[in-house]
Structure 1
Amino acid sequence: MSANSDAHHDDLPSTKATIWIFVAVAIFVALWATAIALFGVPGLYIPALALVPVVGLLIVLVSLG
């Protein structure tokens, strides 16, 4: 039984990579919150508007497989 449960261990992402992704997301959210605190509503919608091409590119990359 233990051989079968260890067979998919390599399918999991590495812990170090997962931590770096969470750190990057936390920094991004903190910077966006700072922009909102400093600039108000424009600090909310200008970064979102700037991310539209990035999200469009990600959608294309995901759809290509």
Structure 2
Amino acid sequence: MTATTAPTTAAHNTAKSHDPDAAAVGPILLSVAVFLAGWATSIAIWGIPGLYIPALALVPVIWVMLILISRG
């Protein structure tokens, strides 16, 4: 009984071609999921103030992010 293997080519060998953008997707999605879970927990604990106080606190953060994005 002989085992045959297909020759590996560059198109099939994706382990060595590592895309840094694809590697950053996991931590970003995890951070967003943790943030949303924390926000949902604050709503469950404190009700309506748990909904709008974090949103109000994020206004300056989003404002600075928009300025940074617009500057290039």
Q: Same fold (TM over 0.5)?
A: yes
TM-score, length basis structure 2: 0.71
Aligned counterpart, 2:63:
56
2:29 aligns with one of 18, 22, 41: 22
Stretches of 4+ aligned residues off by more than 4 angstroms: none
Structure 1 partner of 2:53 = 46
Equivalents in 2 of 1:61, 1:12: separation in Å?
Answer: 22
Greater radius of gyration (CA): 2
CA distance in 1, matches of 2:54, 2:26: 24
Which letter does structure 1 place at the counterpart of 2:30? Answer: V
Counterpart Cα distance in 2 of 1:16 and 1:49: 32
Percent of residue pairs identical:
54
Instruction: Give how far 1:16 is off.
Output: 2.2
Whose helix proportion is higher, 1 or 2?
1
Gaps of 5+ in 2: 1-18
1:34 to 34, 41, 45: 41
CA-CA distance at 1:51 after TM superposition: 0.1
